[in-house]
Structure 1
């Protein structure tokens, strides 16, 4: 990274002195939401979550402590998350229903090999029939909902995945870091010794996330008004109303 930075400087290319995935792709409101869902607050975990949300391939998360599973379950529970193992008798049926309804699916307990029936889903080899997207599951063809999301987790600490697997998924190491462990232990101690304080902290985190989300929506409304308003902004009643309500909201924050 240092060599790359030096070469950019020699070529007159502007670049940050310290690279940060969060500063490049992160979203403050989204990160707060992730933390509320159980994502550890350390930079390593946040970067992992950013990769999960931006990757074109479905994530296979190395998760011996269950951190990623907890985060995914809390994050997707309102969206009808389905949880299954490859060894479950109803695995294929649950996969098919999730694909059709666009429900998020968590396949947990993955080993070092993936069921070949997942190939079409992992590679996103969809095709259109009668105007509807479909995907093939072995010999079965089923509808593919555009809102479908897939997560895979493994409890193996040091799995060895062959290239045939790694080209189909993005492998992400969610092993807990020292900072993440310290924060969790601190939370457990505070929850035991001062439960009211821990409850207040969680409540403030929720309020903060809601406020930042509302602030972001307000900013988007203002930008929309400015881009669509005519030459005389003061004569646009809709623009004036939105600006006035936005001012009230800003004062609240």
Structure 2
């Protein structure tokens, strides 16, 4: 699935993707070559397409607070590009996930303002600096992930490109098969969930429920 989203297939990129998707903290990606940024934008293209102007930003954007409020309230994603060594303190309560619950509603207090927060909200930060010096305080609030391409990773990526150029038909077939496997896996997961829901809500003798069988 990650390869279909444009993630390079070398070992380091895959390990980094696991950290991005599994970490409980928001990722801050060291990304001199821009590969992580491209992957995230492809991965989140459906949410970004709903309002690109609000979902992609920089720390110097004049409307950063408005973008943050909008994406958190709508459960979208916020991609902050070109981060340098420091991050705006405006983001501190968001990075801390200082969520306030009032009844059924969730909020995060940003600059003395309670902003709506949806659990689907995601935030990604990328830095083009090859050797950034993030403060210990910032590093404790986020998951710093180094996407800098190594020599071994570059060799693996170039080999993959060479194979795709020389055996394009096989590469296209493989890509199509990978997409089919991904789609079929998602379908099976959905069917499993529907079956479990039916079983948990079923009443009476299961053997007499012909539709369920």
Question: What is the TM-score when the length of structure 1 is the normalising length?
Answer: 0.71
Query: What's the secondary structure of 1:110's corresponding residue?
Result: coil
Q: Separation in 2 of the partners of 1:167 and 1:214? A: 38
More helix as a share of residues? 1
1:179, CA displacement in angstroms? 4.6
Q: Does residue 13 of structure 2 align to residue 45 of structure 1? A: yes
1:41, CA displacement in angstroms? 2.3
Q: 1:63 aligns with which of 19, 24, 31?
A: 31
Unmatched 5+ residue regions in structure 2?
A: 50-54
Query: What's the secondary structure of 1:188's corresponding residue?
Result: helix
Q: Larger Rg: 1 or 2?
A: 1
The 3 A distance-change label for structure 1 pair 138 and 223 is: closer
Aligned length: 208
Q: Does residue 168 of structure 2 align to residue 200 of structure 1? A: no
The 3 A distance-change label for structure 1 pair 127 and 229 is: closer
Q: Separation in 1 of the partners of 2:202 and 2:101? A: 40
Q: Separation in 2 of the partners of 1:228 and 1:100? A: 33
1:85-131 per-position Cα deviation (integer Å, ceiling 9, x unaligned): 10122222211111111111111111110100001111011213464
Query: What's the secondary structure of 1:41's corresponding residue?
Result: coil
Q: Separation in 2 of the partners of 1:119 and 1:41? A: 33
Structure number with higher relative contact order (C-alpha < 8 Å, ≥ 6 residues apart):
2
The 3 A distance-change label for structure 1 pair 197 and 108 is: same
Q: Separation in 1 of the partners of 2:10 and 2:161? A: 17
The 3 A distance-change label for structure 1 pair 146 and 218 is: closer
Q: Separation in 2 of the partners of 1:131 and 1:222? A: 29
1:69, CA displacement in angstroms? 0.9
Unmatched 5+ residue regions in structure 1?
A: 1-32, 241-253
Question: What is the TM-score when the length of structure 2 is the normalising length?
Answer: 0.82
1:198-239 per-position Cα deviation (integer Å, ceiling 9, x unaligned): 433322221121123334444555666777778975443233
In the alignment, what sits opposite 2:135? 162
Q: Separation in 1 of the partners of 2:200 and 2:151? A: 47
